[in-house]
């Protein structure tokens, strides 16, 4: 990956809907070589998907809850069952297996406390968990989908 590929990624992280001609001009290429580079970045899995970011409040899911999960089960079959259950829950927008004191961390978006309570009841009904701890985000101070590019070789 060279400096032109990095610039393409930098620009697309901010606006993936930018017309190809504009993208090409910003990176100093004509459209065909620029398009080939974008296609290669997609084929290589560097660009996984192009999406539109939505406003959670406008979609009535303005409450963010971080859910820390502990379990006594640490088998592949249990994780498969848990992951399948979580993947069926549209309120879960991020899901991580963690090191340290908690086993899994979920970021959940819901309209309100009542919505979270319904989610929580579904979660504990679906799979056996040792402990579930919820923290409600009071204010979003920083949010970005752009990854840092300074670590590229």
**Does any domain span residue 145?**
no
User: What's the structural domain count of the chain?
Assistant: 2
**Is the same domain home to 90 and 122?**
yes
Q: Which domain holds residue 14?
A: 3-43
Is the confidence at residue 1, as pLDDT, over 80? yes
Q: Quote the pLDDT of residue 153.
A: 75
pLDDT in tens, 85-133: 999 999 999 999 999 999 999 999 999 999 999 999 999 999 999 999 9
Residue 105 included in any domain: yes
Whether 81 and 130 share a structural domain: yes
Q: Can you give the three-state secondary structure of 36-60, one letter per residue?
A: HHHHHHHHCCCCCCCCCCCCCCCCC
> 16: domain CATH number?
1.10.10.10
Mean pLDDT, residues 49-59 = 96
pLDDT value for 30: 98
Looking at the structure, do residues 84 and 124 belong to the same domain, yes or no? yes
Handedness of CA 104, 110, 113, 115 (dihedral sign): negative
**Residue range 21-36, pLDDT digits in tens:** 999 999 999 999 999 9
Q: Which residue has the tokens 């549209």?
A: 90
Q: What is the pLDDT of residues 56-65, one digit of tens each?
A: 999 999 999 9
């Amino acid at each position: 990956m060279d400096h032109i590929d990095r610039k393409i990624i930098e620009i697309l992280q901010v606006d993936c809907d930018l017309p190809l001609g504009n993208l090409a001009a910003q990176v100093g290429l004509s459209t065909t070589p620029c398009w080939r580079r974008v296609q290669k970045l997609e084929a290589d899995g560097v660009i996984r998907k192009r999406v539109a970011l939505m406003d959670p409040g406008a979609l009535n899911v303005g409450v963010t809850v971080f859910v820390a999960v502990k379990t006594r089960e640490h088998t592949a079959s249990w994780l498969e069952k848990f992951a399948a259950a979580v993947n069926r829950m549209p309120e879960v927008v991020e899901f991580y297996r963690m090191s340290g004191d908690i086993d899994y961390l979920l970021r959940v978006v819901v309209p309100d406390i009542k919505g979270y309570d319904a989610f929580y009841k579904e979660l504990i009904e679906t799979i056996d968990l040792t402990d579930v701890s919820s923290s409600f985000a009071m204010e979003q101070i920083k949010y970005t989908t752009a990854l840092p590019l300074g670590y590229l070789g």
